[in-house]
Structure 1
Amino acid sequence: MQAARSLEGVRVSLAELIEIRHRVRELPLFSTPAKRSLLIGMHHSKLRGRGVDFDQVRVYQAGDDVRNIDWRVTARTQEPHTKLFHEERERPIYILVEQSRQLFFGSARSFKSVLAAEAAALIGWAALEHNDRIGGLVFGTSENHEIKPRRSKQSLLQLLNRLVRANQGLNGQLPMEPDSLCLGLRRAREILRPGSLVVVICDERALSDTAEQQLLLLGRHCELLLLPLADPLDHALPAAGLLRFVQDGAQLELDTHDSDLRQAYRELGDRRQERWQRLALRLGALLLPLSTQFDLIDQLREQLQPRRA
């Protein structure tokens, strides 16, 4: 029991990600026919591509489009029949979630890697309840784990299991994987059809020039939901005196009593936030930044309620 408590917020288990399904109703993320979604516009946007599915065949009536005549049924019955279509309501939802050495850090409620896993699980369960197809990619290490979008609980559980395995394998000795977000986005562009929803859950610091370009290309045909993750220490250094950092044999010393240094550090964090905001505007995407300082559901509720009004 003591070991389990010591890992709370540091590691995540499959049981915890499955348990999150019970919190989905606290925050209805997707629209239903009777109720608009808190994520306004995500299921009522203009169709990309044809966006219709075959429904049934019936006897031709005056005014029907002759291009929709089903000639096989017409020939068999010797009476004109036409195809009927209905607007497509389900769509692939592809969750790109990072589990990297960079996320294996946290100074508040949880590590960023745990927050990323919880956010992916919440969105996955919400989408499955809404009858959408679920797939995704766990990236951030040399071995990426991809699940093709399918409308099944098994598909989501497979994604969550991959996510837990990657999370359990994180440690401070793993090699750095530069621009892994860019590679994940490129893969999404290769396999996803127009009209899909791509949920990007990654470190706030992962937005490189190449990753931004991939997001712009992906945003031409897919809807995007951006969830950059940050820790309070990503934006402000405490006045704690001389701090020493060691990474891959290199050592860095910072005098945090230096007010100019702390101010420059804050400005660097502010510029990262502003870059995400500018990108979301260009993409027409919903931006929901998350912090390790607060509960996941509370953060999302606070950010989405003003949009509902």
Structure 2
Amino acid sequence: MHAPASATSPQAARPAAAGVRISLSELIDMRHRVREVPLFASPQQRAPLVGLHHSKLRGRGVDFDQVRIYQAGDDVRTIDWRVTARTQEPHTKLFHEERERPIYILVEQSPRLFFGSGLMLKSVLAAQAASLIGWAALSHNDRVGGLVFGQDEQHEIKPRRSKQSLLLLLDRLARANAKLAAGQFSSPEAFGMALRRAREVLRPGSLAVIICDERTLSETAEQQLTLLARHVDLLLMPLSDPLDHALPAAGHLRFAQGNARLEIDTHDAGLRQAWREQGQARIDRWQRLAIRLRSPLMPLGTQRELVEQLREHLGVQQPGARR
């Protein structure tokens, strides 16, 4: 059994309001919250995103500078074996950190995200996260771009160190959000296609931020993420709602996706247990993937405010909190 893509609940059926839709102006206003969450750190600081910007993973995030004779204390992993063999004397490679890097935000806006029982729908949470990361990257002088994917269309903006480029991405995001409606069908291939496109356009050393529904992770998508992680850094941000992980004993609930309709009796304890187990299995799958790819995992839920969740992930105290 799968968690619902949309539900005939008051949350899903109510008219456009805060937490149900998000506008371009709201996405632009997210720039004012960048200082609340230190997403990108300087080299002197402890990088909050596990060193994503000043990466130590396989030497990514740095550019080759020159080769010199090996000196005591040099990292043996940087030895240039070709030059060493040619000169018969140990040589090591020197690198310098990239001053900027492409930040590519893959953000889902499919019908399966048009659902939520908390403060907001998952589609709104995805848009907020993409916007905040985009503004943070731009303020860090990185090139920002991305791809908004949903049902049958993709909207791609190439990474540029330009406010106009980010605004164009946010405009595409707001437009895709406005088209979502309950009962639409979610394409199972959209995520895999978006990841294949990212592999085509991203060069080594880039950072790909993956913002998608927790349930989007299929075997094909996992394979595409594995291939993408060979060349770029990943930040995984799967989205969920409390109802994805547990059902309340609330009687009969009706769910819809496309023309399909489903009614379940939540008083059935066995059904609720199976639902919990499937929800936990999805959480475990993302955790195993993150460990295998050596990528940070920052799951987000609809029941709490975005900045609050990010600060918790990064170990940042709330303003005014006691140590």
Normalising TM by the smaller chain, what interval? 0.7 to 0.9
Residue from 164, 167, 176 that aligns with 1:166 = 176
CA distance in 2, matches of 1:126, 1:53: 28
TM-score (normalizing by structure 2): 0.80
The one of 292, 303, 307 equivalent to 2:313 is 303
Where do 1:267-306 residues align within 5 Å? 267-305=277-315
- Please give the alpha-carbon distance, in whole angstroms, between the structure 2 residues aligned to 1:201 and 1:162: 15
Letter in 2 for 1:36: R
Write the deviation string for residues 253-272 of structure 1: whole angstroms up to 9, x where unpaired.
21111111101100000000
Q: 2:250 aligns with which of 221, 240, 256?
A: 240
State the 1:121 CA deviation: 0.4
Please give the per-residue CA displacement for 1:71-97, whole angstroms capped at 9, x wherever unaligned. xxxxxxxxxxxxxx9542210000000
Which residue number in structure 2 is paired with residue 48 of structure 1?
A: 60
What residue in structure 1 maps to residue 321 of structure 2? Answer: none
Contact 2:184–2:257 (8 Å) recurs in 1: no
What code does the residue aligned with 1:280 have?
Answer: A
Measure the CA separation in 2 of the matches of 1:123 and 1:247.
Answer: 30
The residue aligned with 1:113 is 123
Q: How many residues align?
A: 274
Task: Report the AA paired with residue 63 of structure 2.
Answer: G
**3-state SS of 2:248 partner:** coil
Give ranges in structure 2 of 5+ residues lacking alignment: 1-14, 67-94, 317-323
Question: Which residue matches 2:74?
Answer: none
Assess if the C-alpha contact under 8 Å between 2:125 and 2:302 holds in 1: yes
The verdict on how the C-alpha distance between 1:109 and 1:88 changes in structure 2, with shifts beyond 3 A counting, is same
Task: Give the alignment of 1:136-155 within 5 angstroms.
Answer: 136-155=146-165
1:123-142 superposed matches below 5 A: 123-142=133-152
Instruction: Please tell me the residue identity of whatever aligns with 1:12.
Output: I
Residue aligning to 1:177: 187
Paired residue type of 2:219: D
1:243 shift after superposition: 2.1
For residue 188 of structure 2, give the secondary structure of its aligned residue in structure 1. Answer: coil
Question: Matches of 1:229 and 1:221 in 2, distance apart?
Answer: 24
Three-state SS of the structure 2 residue aligned to 1:22 is helix
Identity fraction in percent: 67
Q: Residues 11-70 of structure 1: CA distance to partner in whole angstroms, max 9, x if unpaired? A: 00111111111110011110224433311311222333871589xxxxxxxxxxxxxxxx
* Aligned twin of 2:235: 225
CA distance in 2, matches of 1:49, 1:256: 49
Q: How has the CA–CA distance of structure 1 residues 49 and 7 changed in structure 2, closer, same or farther, with 3 Å as cutoff?
A: closer
* 8 Å Cα contact 1:179/1:206 also seen in 2: no
CA contact (8 A) 2:242 2:303 kept: yes
Instruction: Pick the structure with greater CA Rg.
Output: 1
Give, in whole Å, the separation in 2 of the partners of 1:166 and 1:10: 13
CA contact (8 A) 2:104 2:145 kept: yes
The answer to whether the 8 Å contact 2:183/2:256 transfers is no
Map of 1:75 onto structure 2? none
Distance 1:254 1:89, change over 3 A: same
| 1: CA distance, partners of 2:157 / 2:209 | 14
Unaligned stretches of 5+ residues in structure 1? 55-84
Give secondary structure in 2 for the equivalent of 1:287.
coil
Distance 1:236 1:220, change over 3 A: same
d(CA) in 1 for partners of 2:113, 2:205: 30
| Equivalent position amino acid for 1:141 in 2 | Q
Greater displacement, 164-173 / 238-247: 238-247
